[in-house]
């Protein structure tokens, strides 16, 4: 395998799940694993820190979400810019992109808020790169809430039990051939081992 070949496109690997599932930790561990094998990797997250993503973030932190229509419009614009300016250039250069959240989060979170989940998927896939592999890190809601409480940062407008349960229900109903459910309620290393097994099987690394 020659990941730096100019003719070999990078891979898009996405980590999904409700808050508190350990996505950022698993991304960093997978990045270390891939880099040790000579693969160039970049990591990022959505919503981004750009204008549109920050509008959604700041509203949530304030405790007052935007309207569902405005959230969707902002998140779509944020993703358009992210795909155009960061994700696609990296993939074209042969770099692997590991993302903490992507459009499946929009399907789950805005879907749990009443938007049509399949419409959200269609709107995104009109322009957004489809992942090579996505992981849904699944843990019991009680564990997710404990982890969020342990952070001591307070909760934003998305982080309450009934809403997060609704998000988890949307995730559980998703069916894409590239989406893999990972039981993430064990140790960090156990979860990473499951992730790496699928990366080896699906992406040959």
Sign of CA dihedral 153, 154, 156, 161: positive
Determine, yes or no, domain membership for 65.
Answer: yes
* Alpha-carbon span 106 to 74, nearest angstrom: 11
Determine, yes or no, domain membership for 1.
Answer: no
What's residue 160's pLDDT? 77
Number of structural domains found in the chain? 1
User: What SS3 class is residue 139?
Assistant: coil
User: Residue 93 in contact with residue 51, Cβ under 8 Å?
Assistant: no
Residue-range definition of the domain harbouring residue 101: 12-203
Query: In 83-160, which ranges are continuous DSSP H helix?
Result: 88-92, 103-112, 117-125, 141-151
Determine, yes or no, domain membership for 7.
Answer: no
What's residue 154's pLDDT? 52
The DSSP letter of residue 66 is: P
Virtual torsion, Cα 192, 196, 198, 199, nearest 10 deg: 130
Mean pLDDT, consecutive 10-residue stretches, the chain (205 aa), reads 62 94 95 98 97 94 90 98 98 98 97 96 98 96 79 62 91 96 94 97 95
pTM for the complete prediction? 0.90
Residues 6+ apart with CB under 8 A from 177: none
Determine, yes or no, domain membership for 6.
Answer: no
Determine, yes or no, domain membership for 46.
Answer: yes
Determine, yes or no, domain membership for 4.
Answer: no
Q: How many CB atoms lie within 10 A of CB 165?
A: 13
What's residue 64's pLDDT? 83
Determine, yes or no, domain membership for 138.
Answer: yes
CATH of the domain at 167: 3.40.50.300
Determine, yes or no, domain membership for 5.
Answer: no
User: Residue 102 in contact with residue 16, Cβ under 8 Å?
Assistant: yes
């Amino acid at each position: 395998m020659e990941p730096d070949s100019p003719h070999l496109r990078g891979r898009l690997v996405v980590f999904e799940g409700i808050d508190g599932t350990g996505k950022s930790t698993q991304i960093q561990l997978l990045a270390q694993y891939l880099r040790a094998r000579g693969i160039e990797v970049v990591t990022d997250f959505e919503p981004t820190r750009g204008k549109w993503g920050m509008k959604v973030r700041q509203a949530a932190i304030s405790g007052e979400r935007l309207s569902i229509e405005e959230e969707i419009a902002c998140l779509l614009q944020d993703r358009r810019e992210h795909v155009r300016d960061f994700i696609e250039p990296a993939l074209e250069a042969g770099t692997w992109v590991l993302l903490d959240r992507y459009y499946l989060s929009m399907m789950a979170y805005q879907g749990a808020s009443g938007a049509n989940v399949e419409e959200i998927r269609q709107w995104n896939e009109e322009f957004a790169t489809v992942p090579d592999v996505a992981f849904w890190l699944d843990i019991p809601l009680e564990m997710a809430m404990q982890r969020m409480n342990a952070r001591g940062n307070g909760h934003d407008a998305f982080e309450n039990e009934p809403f997060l349960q609704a998000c988890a229900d949307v995730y559980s109903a998703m069916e894409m051939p590239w989406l893999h459910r990972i039981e993430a309620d064990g140790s960090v290393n156990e979860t990473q081992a499951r992730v790496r097994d699928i990366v080896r099987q699906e992406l040959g690394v």
